[in-house]
Amino acid sequence: MAAEIRVLSPKARELVHELGTMTAAVHDGLADPTAQRVLENLGAHLRAEGSELREAVATPKTASGVAVVRGLVVDPAVAGPTPGGWRAVDERMLSPLDASLALLAAIAGRPFSWAGQQDGRLVNNILPEPGKEREQTGASSTVLLAPHTEDAFHPDRANLLMLLCVRNPQQAPTTVASVRRARISDEDKRILRERVAPILPDDSYDWNRSLAPQPVATLWDRHDGLAMRYDPAYTPLDGASADYQAAYRRLGEALAEVGEAVVLEPGDMAIIDNDVVVHGRAPFAPRYDGTDRWLKRVNVSFSPRARRTEHEALEHGYGQEIKDDFAPQAPALAGVS
C-alpha cells in the first residue's frame, strides 16, 4: 500500500483518548459552543507545541495523497451498536470518539460541516441505511461507491478529509487513487482544465435546484502539483464535446489503474488530500444488526481559503452553506494552498 502509515505512540494515543473522554463528560454535544471552544483551544495548543499529534494529522507527504493513522482508542462497548442511519445518532450526546476526532481535526486545521448535510453536524456518521443500498452516497452498501473528491461541487470543499473507523467486520475497503500517480497525457490535461461540465451536489444534500448548473474545471494546478475536482456520478456530460467526454473517460481509466484498496480497522483514521485523491468504497452486504461498517467523517479546511481561483470565487455552490463554528486559524501545515 502506497499510503503513509503513521502509528501513534502509547502516550499520544492515551492523550487523545483522555482529552476526548474529558470533553465528552462535561458537554452535551458538538453543537455546544463551549465544547467547540474547548476543542479549538486544545487543538491550537497541541499544534503550537509541535507535538507528535501535529505530525500525525499533517497533510499526506507523498504522491499517494493518503495517510493512515493507527492506534486511536475505539471501545465497542462505549460506541454501542452501529445505528440504522445517521439520524439514529443522538447529537445531544457527545461521544468520546466524536470529541477525539474533532480534536484531531482542530489540530490539523479548521473543522467544518455543511448546513444541508446530516443536519449540519460536525462529525458525520457513514454507515449503511435500509432503502439506500444502491445510492451513490455514504449510506449505500451493495454497490460500488464511485471514486470522487468530497463535495466536488463546491468551491469551499474540504482540503483534508478524515475518516475514522469504528467497526468494519465486512472488511469493506475504502478505495483511493491519486491524480499525481495517474498517467494523463498533456492533451487530456489541457482539455480537462477547461470549464466544461458542472458537478452537482450528491443525494445526501437538500439543495436549491433552481440554481443553474455551473461548469467547473476537472483538473487544475495547485502550487505543488496537479489537482482535481471529480465526481462522475454527479457530472452530466451530455453537453460536453466528444473530445471532452473521451478525455474524461480516460481520466477515470487512469485513476482506476493506480487505485488501491485500504481496509480500515477499528482505531484507524484515513487522512485524504481532497485536492489530489479520489476515494470510494467497495460493495458489501449490510447486516442491519448493529455490527455493520461504521465510519466517522469530518471535513478540515485551511484558512484563508487561498485555494479558490478567480472562477471558483464566482460559484454559487448550489446554495450550500458552511457551518464554520470553529474560529479561523492561520494555516498550520504546509502542503496546501
CATH of residue 281? 3.60.130.10
Whether 286 maps to a domain, the answer reads yes
pTM over 0.75: yes
The residue type of 149 is T
Is residue 290 in some structural domain? Answer: yes
**Would you state the pLDDT for residue 182?**
98
User: Which residues span the domain enclosing 131?
Assistant: 4-203+210-323
In 134-187, where do the E strands start and end? 145-148, 160-167, 174-178
In a domain, 329, yes or no: no
Q: Is residue 334 part of a domain?
A: no
Cell numbers describing residue 45: 495548543
User: Distance of CA 209 to CAs 113, 149, 319, 327, Å?
Assistant: 21, 21, 9, 31
Contact 325, 122 (CB under 8 A): yes
Q: Distance (Å, rounded) from C-alpha 38 to C-alpha 43?
A: 9
pLDDT value at residue 103: 95
Contact present, 217 and 193 (Cβ < 8 Å): yes
> Radius of gyration over alpha carbons of the chain, in Å?
19
Helix (H, G, I), strand (E, B) or coil at 68: strand
Residue 49: predicted pLDDT: 76
Please provide the size of the chain in residues: 337
Domain count, the chain: 1
Q: Tell me, yes or no, whether 232 lies in a domain.
A: yes
Residue 262 lies in a domain: yes
Domain assignment present for residue 332? The answer is: no
Task: Please give the Cα distance from 39 to 99 (Å, whole number).
Answer: 8
Output the pLDDT for position 271: 98
Q: Whose grid coordinates read 452553506?
A: 321
pLDDT value for 332: 38
- Distance in angstroms (rounded) separating the CA atoms of residues 204 and 8: 33
Task: Say if 270 falls within a structural domain.
Answer: yes
pLDDT in the model for residue 337: 30
The pLDDT of residue 1 is 56
Print pLDDT tens along the chain (337 aa): 578 999 999 999 999 999 999 998 888 788 788 888 888 889 988 988 778 999 999 999 999 999 999 999 999 988 999 999 999 988 767 799 999 999 999 999 999 999 989 999 999 999 999 999 999 999 999 999 999 999 999 999 999 999 999 999 999 999 999 999 999 999 999 999 999 999 999 888 877 788 999 999 999 999 899 999 999 999 999 999 999 999 999 999 999 999 999 999 999 999 999 999 999 999 999 999 999 999 999 999 986 555 666 778 889 999 999 987 665 444 333 333 3
Query: For residues 57 and 335, what is the distance between their CA atoms, to the nearest angstrom?
Result: 12
Give the chain's end-to-end CA distance (angstroms, integer).
Answer: 27
CB environment 38-56: b (16+ within 10 A), e (fewer) = bbbebbbebbeeeeebbeb
Cβ-Cβ contacts under 8 Å for 162 (sequence gap 6 or more):
57, 101, 104, 105, 108, 269, 270, 271, 272, 297, 298, 299, 300
Q: How far apart are CA 22 and CA 99, in angstroms?
A: 9
